[in-house]
Amino acid sequence: MTVRTAPARPLAHRLTALPRPARPRPPHLARALATPSPSPAGEQSFSARLAAGPTLADFIRSPNPDAALASGITRVLLGRTAHPRLPAHLKTSIPTGSNYTRIKRDLRGLGLNTVCEEARCPNIGTCWGGGAAADGEDAGKRTATATIMLMGSTCTRACRFCSVSTSRAPPPLDPDEPAHTAEAIARWGLGYIVLTSVDRDDLADSGAAHFAQTIASIKRTSPAILVEALTGDFNGVTAHIDRVARAGLDVYAHNLETVERLTPTVRDRRAKYRQSLAVLERAREAGAAVTKTSLMLGVGEEEKEVIQTMRDALSAGISILTLGQYMQPTKRHMKVTRYVAPAEFDHYKREADAMGFLYVASGPLVRSSYRAGEMFVENVLRRRGARGGDQEEGTSRAAAHAHAHAHAAEA
């Protein structure tokens, strides 16, 4: 059976076909769509609004931010959430200098990592490049300092403020790292070195043996150097803490990072505020002459919480406290709640000094391994080394002072 279809119309016919006549609009719809003629009163009102509104200058960034804020002018960034602007006192220059270049070259040649680079520390140019001698220090002495990061550059934890890469299964430990670290430090001829590490929860001892071995290697190669070990919490295992504390270090450091309320938000879920205090207390019991901790401000803490954290630290026997401004390393990390004013850092320093800490470094750019603190500790330890028990006695008095403050607060 053959199906016949009507022949298609020629293309020319379809293109030249007349359009359908438009339907007339109802009168009420035509009136609704019509644009009303502006009245003289409306024109005057619109002109008045334009005259009272912002000018072009209001949309241009003011060279004086304080004046802009005083006049009520705010910037709106389309497609972004509001965030505080970086103050001028937190801006640093690009690192340069021969010391900086030499340290970077040695680190690369020996395959070593530094927290200075991994954490994007704003003080890297000052610490690596050296600078003017500190008070009471020889003008010709090198002041360059680097914080060596042991056990690789991949951490098993993921704190919200930290830019170090994370993984559940980092690469295995480098057995030559302790010797390479000792070699690099001997080349630099420094008087003080800070060792830190990534967390290695994948290892049975969390890396305590590797840490202790590195300290011992440094002391064999450079007996006069002072070593600070900035460790993780070793999951609170006493034997691991003891092993590092008894390896020959001079300062045992572990960071509380923030106040107790914010610890679950700021740090990895495996990190606990009370556990960190216990780590520092145990390190002191195991023989560490000086213990140290650090706090970041600008993450949502309140003043009373900072003061209470100081008291908790002193009660745990901590000798040295540093406080600094949290700086968001990348857009993927926790945002800065606010930029703390330098005057507020000065206030916290006065409070901590009054409590009885051996030393307090407090300022926007201060970090846990800030060079000013290291120079002070170096001088204090060398000066007090011959006097033996002065260090222990001084910190015991400070701890007792903290307990008294705590009881007074409860009362």
206 has binding-site annotation: no
Amino acid at 95: P
Q: Is the dihedral of CA 376, 378, 383, 384 positive or negative?
A: positive
**For residue 88, with 0-12 CB atoms within 10 Å meaning exposed, 13-18 middle and 19 or more buried, which class applies?**
exposed
Amino acid at 355: M
163 has binding-site annotation: no
396 has binding-site annotation: no
121 has binding-site annotation: yes
Q: How far apart are CA 176 and CA 231, in angstroms?
A: 20
Q: How far apart are CA 339 and CA 347, in angstroms?
A: 15
**For residue 353, with 0-12 CB atoms within 10 Å meaning exposed, 13-18 middle and 19 or more buried, which class applies?**
middle
The conformation of residue 122, written as its DSSP 8-state character, comes to T
Please count the other Cβ atoms lying within 10 Å of the Cβ belonging to residue 284.
Answer: 20
Q: How far apart are CA 241 and CA 23, in angstroms?
A: 89
In the block, residue with structure tokens 């330890």: 381
> Burial letters for 191-229: b for 16+ Cβ neighbours within 10 Å, e otherwise?
bbbbbbbbbbbebebbbbbbbbbbbbbbbebbeebbbbb
The length of the chain is 411
362 has binding-site annotation: no
Residues 6+ apart with CB under 8 A from 154: 164, 165, 166, 167, 170, 171, 198
CB 158 within 8 A of CB 166: yes
Residues 6+ apart with CB under 8 A from 244: 208, 211, 212, 215, 229, 231, 234, 252, 283
**For residue 49, with 0-12 CB atoms within 10 Å meaning exposed, 13-18 middle and 19 or more buried, which class applies?**
exposed
Q: How far is CA 251 from the centre of its chain?
A: 21
Amino acid at 106: D
Residue ranges of the binding site for [4Fe-4S] cluster: 116, 121, 127, 155, 159, 162, 369
Residue ranges of the binding site: 116, 121, 127, 155, 159, 162, 369
